[in-house]
Amino acid sequence: MKINSIKGMHDLLPHQTRNWRQIETILHNFFNVHGYGEIRTPNIEQTKLFKRVIGDETDIVTKEMYSWEDRNGDNISLRPELTAPTVRAFIEHNLEKLNKNTKLYYIGSAFRRERPQKGRQRQFSQFGVEAIGSEFPEQDAEVVSMAYNIYEMLGIENLDLVINSVGSEESKKNYSKELKIYLSDFSNQLSDVSKNRYKNNPLRILDTKDKEEIKIVENAPNILDFLTESEIEHFNQVKRYLDKLGIPYRVDKGLVRGLDYYTMTTFEIRTNSIGSQDALCGGGRYNNLVDQLGGKSIPAIGFAAGMERLVMAISGEETIEDSVDIFILSMGDLAIMNALKICDKLRSQLGINVRMDLTRSSFKSQMRQANKLNANYVVIIGEDEVNKNIGIIKDMSSGNQSEVPLDTIHKNFDIKSDEQ
Ligand code: HAM
């Protein structure tokens, strides 16, 4: 019986991984020039980490986590996001001792048991940053602008950067109380999901996608009216910095995000070019999280972005074709032996991308393969050539051919020896 991959979990095939690797290389460089160091944490963590960080009542924790009891009785989960593991590692390794302002980035898999659709998988990849140590708005501006600049640099159009501030834990609580009072007038009109949120996490109702509820929350009290003066000033300063950096944004008082740890600045970047799952990335401040997880009281801000959505926004269905520098055509045992040796030298000594056929295809078919791979050169070694101890090098763009002794063929492609 045929066994397929699990629903919502996809293979990435070579024509796709080529794309991904190119983007990942750009991201690694981007984060490096911003002074962020890469962190890699395990795919599995203790379930209580996510419960405590993301929030007991959030969709992610209540419905979407892959959790199970390990053989020794530990409750463990596949990570649904990478902020919690990153902060756990930050505390576990006392990273604040190394640097007052710890700047980390990651690229890795995350798992959420959501309903799969375009742009939404059950296993997906996130890249993101966590800047731990500064409470100041310039840190917010750096993180928000980095997120924005990645998409701009990669040519994604119609970017919609939405920002908000949810204030401190205290302000959030005060606001929640007011919001509940306001929503109590509409309790009959709320969906079951929102009724549940009303009890446990009323702020999440602001995120509703239900048309009727959207009308209700439009007139809800404004969270920004519940911020203290210094929280408002922080938010204003973030906006001033973004203005100065030329980064366009709009403020949306409904942007509260689906994870409980946020305080102060929250943001999301969307685009209309990838379908209904339009959030390219999301993030915000989480000033209490390090403390909450048993570390010191250290403020932080970060964002995470979906790799699949970025790839979709960049290329649609486009893929990068496989290509080679040299293709070696060979026919007959001795020719194959020579071709193997030349391939080995070119690859291991000169790092050249070279291929040969390993299925004993006809010359014609080997030439077709070379053409398909856009080879710059082909080397032809047939029985005649072996007898004469030569190979024919053909420059595929000019069509010029030359006969070269078999044991010196690799030297023709050694750019370094040319330069000397
Ligand atoms: P999040 O908004 O849950 O935030 O996820 C960030 C991004 O991951 C989303 O904007 C989306 O691009 C992608 N994403 C989420 N779920 C899926 C899915 N099922 N399939 C495909 N892509 C998905 C966080 O995860 C926070 N940890 C962000 C953060 C970092 N906040 C502070 N630091």
* pLDDT confidence of residue 340: 97
Q: What is the 116 CA–ligand 1 centroid distance (Å)?
A: 15
Instruction: Name the pLDDT band for 187 (thresholds 50, 70, 90).
Output: confident
Instruction: Name the pLDDT band for 258 (thresholds 50, 70, 90).
Output: confident
- Above 70 in pLDDT, residue 240? yes
Q: What is the 304 CA–ligand 1 centroid distance (Å)?
A: 5
* pLDDT confidence of residue 380: 97
* pLDDT confidence of residue 317: 54
Instruction: Name the pLDDT band for 56 (thresholds 50, 70, 90).
Output: confident
The residue-averaged pLDDT of 92-119 equals: 96
pTM of the model: 0.90
Instruction: Name the pLDDT band for 318 (thresholds 50, 70, 90).
Output: low
* CA 268 to ligand 1: nearest atom: 10
- Above 90 in pLDDT, residue 65? yes
Measure the CA–CA gap between 77 and 43, rounded to whole angstroms: 8
Pocket test for ligand 1, best of 115, 281, 285, 286 (most atoms within 8 A of CB): 281
Enumerate residues lining ligand 1, CB below 6 A: 81, 83, 112, 114, 120-121, 124, 126, 128, 130, 258-259, 279-284, 302-306, 308-309
- Above 50 in pLDDT, residue 419? no
3-state secondary structure the chain: CCCCCCCCCCCCCHHHHHHHHHHHHHHHHHHHHCCCEECCCCCEEEHHHHHHHHCCCCHHHHHHCCEEECCCCCEEEECCCCHHHHHHHHHHCCHHHCCCCEEEEEEEEEECCCCCECCECCEEEEEEEEEECCCCHHHHHHHHHHHHHHHHHCCCCCEEEEEEECCCHHHHHHHHHHHHHHHHCCHHHCCHHHHHHHHHCHHHHHHCCCHHHHHHHHCCCCHHHHCCHHHHHHHHHHHHHHHHCCCCCEECCCCCCCCCCCCCEEEEEEECCCCCCCEEEEEEECCCHHHHCCCCCCCEEEEEEEHHHHHHHHHCCCCCCCCCCEEEEECCHHHHHHHHHHHHHHHHHHCCCEEECCCCCCHHHHHHHHHHCCCCEEEEECHHHHHHCEEEEEECCCCCEEEEEHHHHHHHHCHHHHHC
Measure the CA–CA gap between 112 and 80, rounded to whole angstroms: 5
The residue-averaged pLDDT of 315-340 equals: 88
Measure the CA–CA gap between 59 and 112, rounded to whole angstroms: 10
* pLDDT confidence of residue 316: 65
Instruction: Name the pLDDT band for 208 (thresholds 50, 70, 90).
Output: confident
154-170 pLDDT, tens digit per residue, is 999 999 999 999 999 99
* CA 112 to ligand 1: nearest atom: 19
* CA 269 to ligand 1: nearest atom: 10
Q: What is the 81 CA–ligand 1 centroid distance (Å)?
A: 7
Question: Which of the residue ranges 89-103, 251-265, 391-405 would you say has the lowest mean pLDDT?
Answer: 251-265
Instruction: Name the pLDDT band for 378 (thresholds 50, 70, 90).
Output: very high
